[in-house]
Amino acid sequence: MKKSHFTVILLTLVAATLGIFFALRSEHALLVHPKGEIARRELHLMATNVLLMLSIIVPTLILLFLVVWKQVTKRHDDKKGSPNTRHPIFREGILWIIPLIVVLVMGVITWFAAHKLDPYRPLQSKRTPLHIQVVALDWKWLFIYPQQGIATLNFIEIPENIPVRFSLSADGSPMNSFWIPQLSGQIYAMSGMITTLHIMANEQGEYTGRAAEINGAGFADMTFAVKVTSESDFMDWINSVKSSPHELTGTVYSELIKPSMKNQITFYSSVKKDLFEQMVEKYLKPSS
Amino acid sequence: MKKNFFTGKLTFESLPDHWYTIGGTVFIILVGLIVAFILTKKKRWKWLWKKWLTSTDPKRIGTMYMIFAGLMFFRGMLDAGMIWLQQSLAADSQGYLSSDHFQQIFTSHGDIMVFFVTMGFFFGLMNWIIPLQIGARDLAFPFLNSLGLWLTVSGGVLLNLFFVIGGQFANTGWLAITPLSELEFNPGVRVDYLIWSLQLSGLGSLLAGINFLVTIIKKRAPGMTLMKMPLFVWTSLCAMVLIISAFPVLTATTLLLWLDRVLEMHFFTAGFGGNQMMYINLIWMWGHPEVYILVLPAFGMFSEIVATFSKNQISGYVSMVWAAIMITVLSYLVWLHHFFTMGAGANVNSFFGIVTMFIAIPSGVQVFNWILTMFKGRVQFQSPMYWFVGFLILFMFGGMAGVFMASPPADFQVHNSLFLVAHFHTMIVGVALFGIFAGTTYWFPKIMGFRLDEKLGKRAFWLWFVGYFVSFIPLYILGFMGATRRLDHYASSTHWQPLFIISTIGFVIIACGCFTQVMQLIISYKKRKEFSDQTGDPWDGRTLEWMTTSPPPFYNFAVIPNVSTREAFWEMKQKKLPPSKSYQEFELPKNTGMGIYISVFAFFAGFALVWHIPWLALLGALGALTCVIIRSFDKHTEYMLTAEEIERVESSRGQG
């Protein structure tokens, strides 16, 4: 290996690091610009983990470069390398202990973080959470607001700084993953099962949610809009939806679950009673 | 779909009707005709059959594995190029592929690269090197070895047959996740193609795994205790333990899925008591060990390479062995980290997350010891060492991304994103493929009798190394921009397109690297006189494979060496021990076509099961079974090589 080769490797690494650094500063790097409580804490955890790992990776990389550099520049006068005929247990012990310490620290952090950021865990807040039932359909998202008695298609509006509890399931659609990158991480939505996700948005704005698990032809278009507004705007919006001409009756729903793509945002002023519960129970019944 | 008794679901509509299936079919037929023409013209059919196809010599089988893997690599890279091209075009438009077609391409890309390319190359190199390194003349079960190869090949052929018959491959992702792969969402035969090609090749891998395990346990040269085995043998042993315990899970799981599909059972369906999550659990119980099946042999190869080129013993041999064993054990306990997002509780998630992080410990120990080996040695930077240094950098980088995702809350954000895709490609490219390239360069003189061109080898490394960064760093960033994997199109407002285009440029650089490697093969062959290796030991090696000539005689060792230290050949060279010439007769396996016959029957059975043709399936199964029975009554499967014959061969090889 020539010295110039060494430079190529270093340049590649520096270019990659700079590339990542500047790309992540862009506002389009959604995960680095969280707008919700959960996503913010997840980012914080990621950063902690990366720093911990860099504390061991960077010295190792430097060690690697020093060794390679030494080997490239050194004149081989001696006839043989120095063979390690003995096995210094002490040295090997250190090699095991260094990564062990880092992993133990990360393990403890992981244990607590996994519990604190468990999607099932309600968020601490004085306000009662807004409940939204999510149904993944082929290939669109249906959102039911049971407390308000309304429903929406491919769109949710939520108030800022109020916790939201999602109950997720799927109907006629395979396994789905529900993801609003700027508000929180993913959770699966599966037929016959209800998963739960708690989030809280901190900043008003419009964000994109998407399906993150391959589910067939309409996969790429299965996105939805998320609008975070003030509480009063949210109330106004609820009222406007209640005057919408569309109603989510049993017939409308049975039309809706047929596969379709690129569905327009739709608002339903009323929802058939216990639609979500019946939809889930449908999968628990034996074959007739 | 209506079923005919004789043809099952096959109709004239199953014949190619798209540009790519017609193109593929024409290509396959043309290449077949050209090969057949050349063979006929040169009168080589008999030679091909007797010397190669029916061979039970692990060296020939190894070469055939590698040729097959190389062809499949070409096929997998074509898929990769199509995926990249689509994603760099498809902002606010559909690109040049339909969603469905795009999904078929990434599915077949994954299956081909994992089952046929990476595993094919590894089995090829293991067939060549493991008997030589442990001082054996052959594998424990030469016939199973041949059968394993041909089952793998028949699986590969069945997978690619969808071009010719059916025209469609699964659109479910390489693991055929349920319930998308169930009858409800996938009524045709496309998923069955996936299932049966994996069944055939999985059976082949299982047989090969058993074979290598028994070989390593039973056929070591006298004096070679377990703790004196070369590290490549150790890591291969660990990978074989994984294969034997994990592949039956794959076979059972995909079989249950097939029962769901053909008999309308409800193991993994969405409703009617099926458990879709069970499939994901089961498939990853195989899938995660599989990941380590792909990287463990590469760890071993790099250990051999770094020791040889540093002119030094591997540092911390005992630690390296225990590291490999620890990785083997831990790899069974981490499968759930592939789906933290399924909604299991925090206790379950953190258990699997923390165990995953523990894998970083043995991995770290290995990295330290590799660096220490170089530090204490006298390094010659031949091209295998270039791959080695590149591997170390990528391994640390990809490992960091892996541990990053082992934390469940972090995984919630990057699960199924392009960040994940970039992570596992870093591991498969940086560890498995770089290992294959380094190992192939390292052992090429042993296999072919001449070295590969160094200059082109280094050039190929640079193209791969830089190409890797240009193509995969953008994918890491895209993950953080909220890009999920497997998107066939996206809105330009996401600002993903520039990064996809950069990534595609990286692919072009990598493709140039592949082209350079092909040129390297051709040019090295042309200059084979200049590069020829007369000594059998071109790199001043340390392990037994360098004791033989290059290429070795068909029986590997005329006299099985006695081993007293870890680096047996190094020891012999230091003490200037002359090779023993007291030849004694020994037995070698005869060639047999049974492996091919069984595989052909199995192939037809697989094909029939894909297309629901019961009589053909029965015929195939019975045929294969009959062949197995016939073979088991064959008592003359070996022949004796007398001492005089060995003496004659040895002296004619210039060693007498």
Check residue A83 and give its pLDDT.
53
**Do residues A137 and A49 share a domain?**
no
What is the token pair recorded at B320? 């390296």
CB A249 within 8 A of CB A271: no
Same domain, A64 and A157: no
Res B382 pLDDT > 50: yes
Looking at residue B151, what is its pLDDT?
97
Amino acid letter for position B101: H
Please name the member of B343, B476, B480 whose beta carbon is closest to the beta carbon of A187: B343
Q: What was the pLDDT predicted at A230?
A: 97
Q: Is residue A166 classed as helix, strand or coil in its secondary structure?
A: strand
Evaluate whether residue A267 is within a structural domain.
yes
Using a CB-CB cut-off of 8 Å, the residues of chain A touching B392 are 64
How close A243 comes to chain B (CA, Å)? 31
Does residue B172 belong to the interface with chain A, where contact is any CB pair within 8 Å? yes
Q: With helix as H, strand as E and coil as C, how does B97-138 read?
A: CCHHHHHHHHHHHHHHHHHHHHHHHHHHHHHHHHHHHCCCCC
Torsions phi, psi of B642, nearest 5? -80, 165
Say if A82 falls within a structural domain: no
pLDDT digits (tens, 9 = 90+) for A154-202: 999 999 999 999 999 999 899 999 999 999 999 999 999 999 999 999 9
Residue A186 belongs to domain spanning = 130-282
For an interface test with A, give the residue of B89, B107, B180, B381 to mutate (most A CBs within 10 A): B180
Query: Do A210 and B484 count as a contact with CB atoms less than 8 A apart?
Result: yes
Asked whether the predicted pLDDT for residue A99 surpasses 80, the reply is yes
Asked which of A81, A116, A151 is the last residue of a domain, the reply is A116
pTM: predicted TM-score of the whole model, two decimal places = 0.95
What residue in B sits closest to A45 (Cα-Cα)? B410
pLDDT at B528 over 70: yes
Q: What is the pLDDT of residues B630-654, one digit of tens each?
A: 999 998 899 999 999 998 888 887 5
- Cα separation, A119 vs B97, in Å, equals 37
Q: Tell me: the pLDDT tens digits for A236-270?
A: 999 999 999 999 999 999 999 999 999 999 999 99
CA Rg value for chain A: 26
Phi, then psi, of A110 in degrees rounded to 5: -60, -45
Contacts of A101 (CB under 8 A, 6+ apart): none
Instruction: Give me chain B's average pLDDT, please.
Output: 94
- B6-41 per-position pLDDT tens digit: 888 888 888 888 888 888 889 889 999 999 999 999
Same domain assignment for residues A240 and A163: yes
Nearest CA in chain B to A53: B400
- Same domain flag for A260 and A173: yes
Residue A125 included in any domain: no
All residues at 6 or more sequence positions from A97 whose CB lies less than 8 Å from its CB, including other chains: none
Q: Is A212 in Cβ contact with B484 (below 8 Å)?
A: yes
Q: In this structure, is residue A18 part of a structural domain?
A: yes
Segment 473-532 of chain B within 8 Å of chain A by CB: 473, 476-477, 479-482, 484-491, 494-495, 499
Confidence of residue A2 (pLDDT cuts 50, 70, 90): confident
Portion 324-343 of B in contact with A at CB < 8 A = 339, 341-343
What does the DSSP 8-state code read for residue B430?
I
Which token pair is B424?
Answer: 């596992």
Q: What's the number of domains chain A is made of?
A: 2
Q: How far apart are CA B320 and CA B311, in angstroms?
A: 18
Chain A residues touching residue B460 (CB < 8 angstroms): none
**Which contacts of B560-563 are long-range, i.e. CB under 8 A and separated by 24 or more positions?**
B560/B135, B560/B136, B560/B137, B560/B221, B560/B222, B561/B135, B561/B221, B562/B221, B562/B222, B562/B223, B563/B135, B563/B220, B563/B221, B563/B222, B563/B223, B563/B224, B563/B228
The candidate with the shortest Cα–Cα distance to B402, out of B283, B282, B286, B291, is: B291
DSSP output for A198-241: EE-B-S-EEEEEEE-S--STTGGG-EEEEEEE-HHHHHHHHHHH
- Look at residue B619 and tell me whether its pLDDT is greater than 80: yes
Percent of chain B with pLDDT over 70: 99
- Name the residue type at position A224: F
Which B residues in the span 253-292 are in contact with A, Cβ-Cβ below 8 Å? 266, 270-273, 276-277, 280
- Mind listing the pLDDT tens digit for each residue in B533-575? 888 899 999 999 999 998 999 999 999 999 999 998 998 888 8
What CATH number does the domain containing A254 carry?
2.60.40.420
Beta bridge partners of B190: none
pLDDT band for position B580 (50/70/90)?
confident
Q: Which residues of A touch B489 (CB under 8 A)?
A: 220-221
pLDDT score for B354: 96
Cβ atoms of B264 and B183 closer than 8 Å: yes
pLDDT > 80? residue B655:
no
For chain B, the residue count is: 656
Q: What is the pLDDT of residue A80?
A: 53
Rounded to the nearest 10 degrees, what angle do helices B142-160 and B190-218 cross at? 160
Contact with chain B for residue A159, Cβ under 8 A: no
Right CATH for B294-488 from 1.20.210.10, 3.20.20.80, 3.40.190.290, 3.40.50.620: 1.20.210.10
Q: Report the pLDDT averaged over residues B477-505.
A: 95
Higher local confidence (pLDDT), A15 or A79: A15
Three-state DSSP class for residue A254: helix
- With a cut of 60, say whether residue B432 has pLDDT above it: yes
Q: Is the pLDDT of residue B1 over 60?
A: no
Q: Hey, are the CB atoms on A95 and B365 less than 8 Å from each other?
A: yes
Q: What angle do CA B219, B223, B229 make, to 5 degrees?
A: 65
Q: What is the predicted pLDDT for the residue at B656?
A: 37
Cβ-defined contact of B389 to A68 (cutoff 8 Å): yes
Lowest mean pLDDT among A69-73, A240-244, B484-488: A69-73
Cα A228 from Cα A231, distance rounded (Å): 9
Looking up tokens 């929802």, which residue turns up?
A271
Indicate if A146 and A62 belong to the same structural domain. Answer: no
**Arithmetic mean of pLDDT, A68-84:** 67
Residue B274 has pLDDT above 80, yes or no: yes
Q: CB–CB of B179 and A287 under 8 A?
A: no
Domain extents in chain B? 294-488
Q: Does A283 touch chain B (CB under 8 A)?
A: yes
State mean pLDDT over B318-323.
96
pLDDT reported for residue A4: 84
CA torsion sign, B154 to B155 to B160 to B165? positive
**What's the whole-number mean pLDDT along residues B130-141?**
95
Sign for the CA dihedral angle at B8, B12, B13, B17 comes to positive
Distance from CA of A173 to the nearest CA of B (A): 8
Q: What is the pLDDT of residues B405-423, one digit of tens each?
A: 999 999 999 999 999 999 9
| HSE (side-chain half, CA atoms, 13 Å) at B392 | 30
